[in-house]
Amino acid sequence: MKATVIYGAGDVRVETVPDPKLYEPTDAVVRVLRSCICGSDLWPFGAKPAQDHGDRIGHEFLGVVEDIGAEVTGLKPGDVVVAPFVWADNTCDFCREGLQTSCRHGGQWGSTDVDGGQGEAVRVPQASGTLVKLPVGEDSALLPSLLTLSDVFPTGHHCAVTAGVGPRTTVTVIGDGAVGLSAVLAAKRLGAEQIILMGRHTERTDLGRAFGATDVVAERGEEGVEKVRELTGGDGTHTVLECVGLKPAIETAFGVVRDGGTVSRVGAPQYPDVPADFGVFFRNITLTGGVAPARAYIEELLPDILEGRIEPGRVFDRTVGLDEVPGGYQAMADREALKVLIRP
Amino acid sequence: MKATVIYGAGDVRVETVPDPKLYEPTDAVVRVLRSCICGSDLWPFGAKPAQDHGDRIGHEFLGVVEDIGAEVTGLKPGDVVVAPFVWADNTCDFCREGLQTSCRHGGQWGSTDVDGGQGEAVRVPQASGTLVKLPVGEDSALLPSLLTLSDVFPTGHHCAVTAGVGPRTTVTVIGDGAVGLSAVLAAKRLGAEQIILMGRHTERTDLGRAFGATDVVAERGEEGVEKVRELTGGDGTHTVLECVGLKPAIETAFGVVRDGGTVSRVGAPQYPDVPADFGVFFRNITLTGGVAPARAYIEELLPDILEGRIEPGRVFDRTVGLDEVPGGYQAMADREALKVLIRP
């Protein structure tokens, strides 16, 4: 089959790789219907040292079950399923606590003997725990929104949930990328009364407004902090959803959070530490968030997509075939595309 | 009257200062029955640059109302009261949210025209909001434990509450000072099932065991982290209560916290930042805590002291008169005393 591999910064290729097969009785093989490129894929695309062998890449996909091992329950060939962005047994103590990203028997797509999501098919370990069956056909118009359950929408949701967003909460979302926009949608869904989106790409912030942002702040740095404070009577917001991962973004987050408030971060951090001095301490600021256990949230978010109340798939603004994936990476890196959908 | 002033590192004096009086109709004047020295007082005692005028110091006291302004309600001369370690109106939005440390009309003891707690009397701004009446006499044997409601016990409690300690929670407490021991007591009171106290002063960790610690780890650094992990099946604890404020302590906290867990800190931080790299992010670690809004907790904690279920005043292991306060500072700095009670 064909799959995407990365050899280093700027060097993504689509190559023929071995077809996936069952290794363990708990495995399934899934033929991919839709996959996509994640903002976090752009970190290796931007900085990975060159190497002579390619690494498999991609961690968001939905598809059709082709084959299952003898111990797989609850799934059968032909089922349409979505995979969260790590695989997990969904039965260990961490999974029961909703932290499937720390599953005792889980792991990451694209690791040894496990395919990446940006290919024609994937061997899925711990299939019964990992995959969630979707009550739709292979040609459903909902596939883009359902694909967001793999990562980007639950990541925005995780950010909002860990921050404690609810009715009467004021929220600042930092970043108008696909995760930031998903965080806006999640905050709106959780009832937030004011959602300030910090971003400067008008076509993205317009989608943010459609998703529920009540205010948009295009300024950055100190000027951006001032603007958010103006919008909140000088106090900042109860919660700040940091969806970028860069040092200036997390610094802005601490600047716009209200005393006693919470900064949650879901952008993979490209910094080693965060401010924690006496000022932060005296203001009782909480820092939370982390990599999103998407699996924990799929059942909760699914009905709103199936019943059309939310449409998180609107973050996809470009669709490519598998051979066009390298161009898709470049388009996202150049900010010509917000998020690229792949139809293998 | 006499009061404690600090001129710089190692230079604490007891001097005659103006008697406090009512400035505002919302003020009260309180004659101090008991005060004490806080671990945080040791930071200026250790490092304050020398200056030619003294600053008033002390932020923990209980006493008797001597005089009240025209707008003070709920208090009358003769009432025995405890003061939390900042003053606050207890009516603004932050106060209603339980964050009196960020009160819109509050402030700190020892600031301009407000006395410090380590003296014979104190002018109390916002008296109706700040002071809590205690149903005891001036000679009650409970005064030491009631005095801990000013700061040290609610600080331990704040650490445990913000960390999310409850039944079935495992807890590591870092630091066997008075705050750490108070955090042990608070965690026990909240029902924690395992409380590991990290500390190496046997007489203090013995009190920690009496307060509810189930395990004591005397090792520090990497060795200490290993030991806590051994005690928790390799995983670390759900919550970590960091009660020191030094860089090695907060680093240990991140080492002993379980994936998905929470580090809460109440030791005034002597470091500018905390680890927040991809490892912390992938493990979904939350950092919370801060300066404790003691006022928010007094009514909740008071009955357990009055009814003898807890005795947080056991952290006091030395009592001095006002003239002996400088020696009390030195004894705490030299770790000869755990916490010094002052009887003016």
Average pLDDT over residues A274-289: 96
Distance CA B8, CA B257 (A): 37
Average pLDDT over residues A269-281: 94
Looking at the domain covering B156-289, what would its CATH class be? alpha beta
Return mean pLDDT, chain A: 97
Average pLDDT over residues B323-342: 97
Say whether pLDDT at A112 is over 90.
Answer: no
Residue A256 near residue A175 (C-beta atoms within 8 A): no
**In sequence order, which residues have a C-beta less than 8 Å from that of residue A146 and are 6 or more positions away?**
A62, A82, A134, A136, A140, A302, A305, A313
The pLDDT value recorded for residue B220 is 95
Delimit the domains of chain A by residue range. 2-151+293-343, 156-289
Contact yes or no for B289 and A284 at CB 8 A: yes
In this complex, which of A101, A282, A293 lies closest to B101 when CB atoms are compared? Answer: A282
Classify the complex by whether its ipTM is higher than 0.85, answering yes or no. Answer: yes
**Domain A156-289 in the same topology as domain A2-151+293-343:** no
Q: What is the DSSP string of B38-86?
A: -GGGHHHHHHPPP-SS-EE----EEEEEEEE-TT--S--TT-EEEE-SE
Shortest CA gap A317–chain B (Å): 28
Contact yes or no for A284 and B277 at CB 8 A: no
Which residues in chain A have their CB less than 8 angstroms from residue B284's CB?
99, 101-102, 162, 289-291, 293
Any CB–CB contact under 8 A between B284 and chain A?
yes
pLDDT, tens digit (0-9, with 9 covering 90-100), for B175-219 = 999 999 999 999 999 999 999 999 999 999 999 999 999 999 999
CATH of domain B2-151+294-343: 3.90.180.10
**In sequence order, which residues have a C-beta less than 8 Å from that of residue B307 and are 6 or more positions away?**
none
The pLDDT value recorded for residue B232 is 98
The pLDDT value recorded for residue B112 is 87
Encode burial over A284-298: b for 16+ CB neighbours within 10 A, e otherwise.
bbbbbbbbbbbbbbb
Contact yes or no for A102 and B259 at CB 8 A: yes
Contact yes or no for B260 and A289 at CB 8 A: no
Interface of B with A in 202-221 (CB under 8 A): none
Any CB–CB contact under 8 A between B99 and chain A?
yes
How far is C-alpha B135 from the chain's CA centre? 22
Average pLDDT over residues B228-239: 98
Any CB–CB contact under 8 A between B234 and chain A?
no
The pLDDT value recorded for residue B289 is 98
Which residues in chain A have their CB less than 8 angstroms from residue B162's CB?
284, 286
pLDDT, tens digit (0-9, with 9 covering 90-100), for A142-182 = 999 999 999 999 999 999 999 999 999 999 999 999 999 99
Any CB–CB contact under 8 A between B137 and chain A?
no
CATH of domain A2-151+293-343: 3.90.180.10
